[in-house]
Amino acid sequence: MAEILPPPAHPALFLRAAAGLETERPPVWLMRQAGRILPQYRALRAGFPDFKTFVKTPEAAAEATLQPVDELGVDAAIIFSDILVIPEAMGLDYEMIESKGPRFPKVIENQADVTSLAAGAEAAARLEYVYEALRITRRELAGRVPLIGFAGAPWTIFAYMLEGGGSKTFSKARRMLYTQPALAHNLLQKITDTTIAYLRQQVASGADLLQLFDSWAGELPPAQYRTFAVPYLRQICEALPEAPKTVFAKGAWFALEDIGELPCEVVGLDWNTPPAFARARAGEAKVLQGNLDPCCLYAPPALIEAETREMIRQFGRRHIANLGHGVYPDTPLDGVRVFVETVKSFQWT
Secondary structure (3-state) at 289:
strand
What b/e readout covers 175-186, taking b as 16+ CB neighbours within 10 angstroms? ebbeebeebbbe
Question: Strand pairing of 101-103 and 95-97?
Answer: antiparallel
Catalytic-labelled residue, pool 41, 94, 131, 160: 160
- Compare residues 98 and 178 and give the one whose CB is closer to its own copies: 178
Which of residues 96 and 295 has its CB atom nearest to its own copies in the complex?
Answer: 295
Rounded CA gap, 194 and 152, in Å? 11
Q: How far apart are the first and last CA of the chain?
A: 28
Q: How far is the CB of 234 from its own copies (least distance, A)?
A: 21
Residue 248: C-alpha distances to residues 124, 194, 215, 230, 275 (Å): 22, 19, 8, 12, 14
Q: How far is the CB of 335 from its own copies (least distance, A)?
A: 10
With CB under 8 A as the contact rule, the residue among 51, 129, 271, 346 that binds its own copies is: 271
Interacting span for its own copies (CB under 8 A) from 87-95, 123-131, 219-227, 256-264: 219-227
d(CA 303, CA 314): 16
45 is an active site residue: yes
The residue annotated as part of the active site, out of 82, 113, 298, 328, is 82
Q: Is 82 a catalytic residue?
A: yes
160 is annotated as an active-site residue: yes
The single-letter code of the amino acid at 90 is M
Under rule CB under 8 A, residue 273 binds its own copies = yes
Residues in contact with its own copies, shown as a per-residue x/- string from 16 to 35 under the rule CB under 8 A: --------------------
70, 254, 261, 301: residue in contact with its own copies (rule CB under 8 A)? 254
36 is catalytic: yes
Question: Rule CB under 8 A: is residue 277 a binding residue for its own copies?
Answer: yes
Q: Using CB under 8 A as the criterion, what x/- string covers residues 314-333 for binding its own copies?
A: ----------xx--x-x---
Let me know: does 233 contact 154? Beta carbons within 8 Å.
yes
Residue 111 found at the interface with its own copies (CB under 8 A): no
Q: Which residues are marked as active site?
A: 32, 36, 45, 82, 160
Residues of the shown chain interacting with its own copies in the complex, contacts defined by CB under 8 A: 101, 166, 168-169, 171, 174-175, 177-179, 218, 220-222, 224, 251, 253-254, 271-274, 277, 293-296, 298-300, 303, 324-325, 328, 330
